[in-house]
């Protein structure tokens, strides 16, 4: 069966955070002043085991989940991540397993991930300029490592998309260089409006470069044609280059909310289920997972949670003031 919520949205996607740790300190997600050397990350005992993750995913297929995405933190920091992919790839009903990464460890893992059954990766790349990139990632990481990871993923047959978060006064100068590069590389590029996820990124609407402005900047050099959605619930609005050499997309959660098409459920690394990226709290599955509850109890929990879901934060932005969970904890 496919569960639907109070706004008749079906459950289709499960995003699974495998760790709350990351080797970047991007200011829009995990700023160093809040996630410094003394920050208390989740203890190992609280993080779900691979077996627990697989059990949740298996039960979730019974309420409609067909696609899985592994996130973090940085998921490639989780030891044995390829083993988890292999375990998930055996589940009946799962059509695709994807992974979101900052790309710095991807060159090392790409072959094993592909062999394990991973279908595609989404790589975060907010700038090509080394200085801008180093400033944005907060640790001075080199953009060459990310580009090498992308190349390795393509070499081993993984589908690749690239995501770029754009902030005014930070990296708007990178919009055109990224578009040129993606077109030359024949890669799918998604620009993301700077969002107010969590409480530590000091979000200010003045820093949002909206979809129309991004399109205008790219359109100065490349004519663009709108493309139809590839599937229901797609988050990005898509445009193709007029010469048919690739496409770009924009995820416009701020200026053009798409809450009414959201089909995503999120599982945090410590077993909390969240029905919205902007939620303040989740539903703790660990008592069932680590107690004696059978799968029917888990099934009922997932079904009831989704059927009662009424989240539409982006449509109500400015009207909701509850503290929000951090993106590095939820997995984006």
- Binding-site residues for [4Fe-4S] cluster, in ranges, read 22, 26, 29, 259, 262, 276
Distances (CA, A) of 205 to 63, 112, 132, 313, 317: 37, 41, 21, 15, 11
CA distances from 77 to 19, 43, 234, 243, 316 (A): 8, 15, 28, 39, 35
255: how many CB neighbours lie within 10 A of its CB? 16
**Which residues contribute to the annotated binding site for GTP?**
15, 69, 100, 161, 264-266
Residue numbering of the annotated binding site for S-adenosyl-L-methionine: 28, 73, 124, 195
Instruction: Quote the CA–CA distance of 107 and 155 in Å, as a whole number.
Output: 10
Say if CB 275 and CB 79 are below 8 A apart.
Answer: no
Element (H, E) at 133: helix 130-137
Is the Cβ–Cβ distance between 70 and 98 less than 8 Å?
yes
User: How far is Cα 42 from Cα 78, in angstroms, rounded to an integer?
Assistant: 13
Distance of CA 26 to the CA centre of its chain: 14
* C-alpha–C-alpha distance, residues 77 and 71, integer Å: 10
Q: Which residues are annotated as a binding site?
A: 15, 22, 26, 28-29, 69, 73, 100, 124, 161, 195, 259, 262, 264-266, 276
**Cβ 120 vs Cβ 154: under 8 Å:** no
């Amino acid at each position: 069966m496919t569960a639907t919520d109070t706004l008749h949205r079906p459950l289709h996607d499960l995003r699974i955070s495998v760790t709350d740790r990351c080797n970047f300190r991007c200011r829009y997600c995990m700023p160093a002043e809040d996630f410094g050397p003394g920050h208390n990350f989740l203890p190992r005992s609280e993080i779900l085991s691979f077996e627990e993750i697989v059990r949740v995913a298996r039960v979730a297929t019974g309420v409609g989940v067909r696609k899985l995405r592994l996130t973090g933190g940085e998921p490639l920091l989780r030891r044995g991540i390829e083993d988890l992919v292999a375990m998930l790839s055996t589940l009946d009903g799962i059509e695709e397993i994807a992974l979101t990464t900052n790309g710095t460890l991807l060159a090392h893992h790409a072959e094993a991930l592909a062999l394990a059954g991973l279908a595609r990766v989404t790589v975060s790349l907010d700038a090509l300029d080394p200085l801008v990139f180093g400033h944005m990632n907060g640790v001075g990481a080199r953009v060459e490592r990310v580009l090498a990871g992308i190349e390795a993923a393509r070499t081993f047959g993984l589908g690749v998309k690239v995501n770029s978060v754009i902030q005014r006064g930070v990296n708007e100068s990178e919009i055109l260089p990224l578009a040129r590069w993606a077109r030359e590389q024949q890669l799918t590029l998604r620009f993301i409006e700077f969002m107010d996820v969590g409480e530590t990124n000091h979000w200010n609407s003045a820093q949002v470069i909206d979809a129309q402005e991004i399109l205008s900047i790219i359109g100065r050099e490349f004519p663009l044609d709108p493309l139809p959605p590839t599937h229901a619930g797609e988050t990005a609005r898509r445009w193709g280059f007029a010469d048919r050499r690739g496409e770009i997309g924009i995820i416009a959660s701020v200026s053009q909310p798409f809450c009414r098409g959201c089909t995503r459920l999120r599982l945090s690394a410590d077993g909390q289920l969240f029905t919205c990226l902007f939620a303040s709290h989740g539903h703790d599955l660990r008592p069932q997972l680590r107690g004696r509850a059978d799968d029917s109890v888990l099934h009922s929990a997932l079904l009831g949670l989704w059927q009662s879901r009424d989240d539409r934060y982006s449509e109500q932005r400015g009207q909701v003031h509850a503290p929000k969970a951090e993106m590095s904890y939820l997995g984006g």
